[in-house]
Amino acid sequence: MGGDPMEPRPVGVAVIDDHQVVIDGVRAWAAADPTQRVRIVLTGGTPDCLLPRPPDVDVVLLDLELGGVLVLDRVASLSDAGHRVVVFSAHGGPSVVSAALEAGACAYLTKDEAREHCIDTLVAVATDRPYVTRSLAGGMLADPRLSGREREALLLWFQGMDMAAVARRMTKTDGSGEAITKDTVKQYIDRARVKYARAGRSVASRFALLARAIEDGLIRPEDVGGYRSTASQ
């Protein structure tokens, strides 16, 4: 803060992990970010210090395994308290991923992918935008509501390609044989994420994600209510 008033305020992040080395790692990544987009405002071994929600915490980075126990219930209670929760875990199994999303998590990071994606995830989640890591893509692939294109984009992303490589492998639907753009790929993936959010528990972060998706033109307002009627067809 304090510099150019036009610069956006850094994202306030609380890191909850029972291993100090992880907290130090996140601090190091935040420090290495060229534009200093993230500031660690609070750290701790348990999420108790986050209830009620401290005003300067924008995003909570929560280790899913605290003291050897999966804390999915804490994901739910933090989300209910209005927090945006990013789950951080050594496990990337699709069932754990979807359980975390069901509990209200905004994003999912495995420790493998954290170095590459941690800061970007925190920033995206702080602005209520979807951020799909590869592990999260794996958890979403089984979703029957995905369109063929969304699934294809998610699958290629899950396999480990970067967005540009995914784009090169997907051709436009108009039959021209031309590759789609990187932005279109991101749109497919983000739309898939928003679809997934439409059915979740009623937590503030989920409504904020949907509202932002409408604002960004990713989905139309009528899409949000449309979920149930689509399912009942």
Partner 1 sequence: MTNLPTLPNQPTHLSDAERIVSTRYAAGAARTVVIIALGWHLANDLPATLASGPDPLCLTVWLAFTAVGVAGSIAVLKGVVIGPAWRIAGCAVLLAGSAAMHATAPGSLFAFENWAWGVAGWIALLLFWNRPGARHPVWAFFGFVTANAAISVVALIARGEADRTGLAKMLLVVYGVGALQLTLYAGKWGLESTVRRFARDRTATELVRAAKQAAEQAHIARQDRYSTARAAAGEVLTGLADGRLDPADPSVRQRAAAAAARLRRLVTETDDVPDPLVHELRAAADVAERRGVAVTVDQVGALPTVPLQVRRALTDAPAWAVAAAGTHARITVVSNVESVTVAVVGDASIDQPRSDEPVTVRHDDVLVRVDQEGGQIWVETRWSHAPSVSP
* 34 cis-preceded (ω within 30 degrees of 0): no
Contact between residue 60 and residue 85 where contact means Cβ atoms under 8 Å apart: yes
Does residue 155 belong to the site contacting partner 1 (CB under 8 A)?
yes
Cα–Cα distances in Å, from 212 out to 148, 187, 215? 24, 13, 5
* 52 cis-preceded (ω within 30 degrees of 0): yes
Segment contacting partner 1 (CB under 8 A): 41-49, 123-131, 158-166, 223-231? Answer: 158-166
By CB under 8 A, name the one of 81, 165, 199, 214 that touches partner 1: 165
DSSP strands (E only) in the chain: 11-16, 38-44, 59-63, 65-66, 69-70, 84-89, 107-110
Task: Give the footprint of partner 1 on residues 73-102 (CB under 8 A).
Answer: 92, 94
Token pair 């199994």: residue: 93
Contact between residue 119 and residue 38 where contact means Cβ atoms under 8 Å apart: yes
Contact between residue 156 and residue 169 where contact means Cβ atoms under 8 Å apart: yes
Residue 72: strand pairing partners: none
Does residue 112 belong to the site contacting partner 1 (CB under 8 A)?
yes
Give 104 or 138: the residue with its C-beta nearer to partner 1.
138
Q: Give the per-residue contact string, 3-42, with partner 1 (x = CB under 8 A; - = no).
A: ----------------------------------------
Does residue 170 belong to the site contacting partner 1 (CB under 8 A)?
no
Give 161 or 204: the residue with its C-beta nearer to partner 1.
161
Task: Give the footprint of partner 1 on residues 118-147 (CB under 8 A).
Answer: 134-135, 138-139, 141-142
Segment contacting partner 1 (CB under 8 A): 28-36, 76-84, 165-173, 191-199? Answer: 165-173
**Residue ranges binding partner 1 (CB under 8 A):** 92, 94, 112, 134-135, 138-139, 141-142, 155, 158-161, 165, 168-169
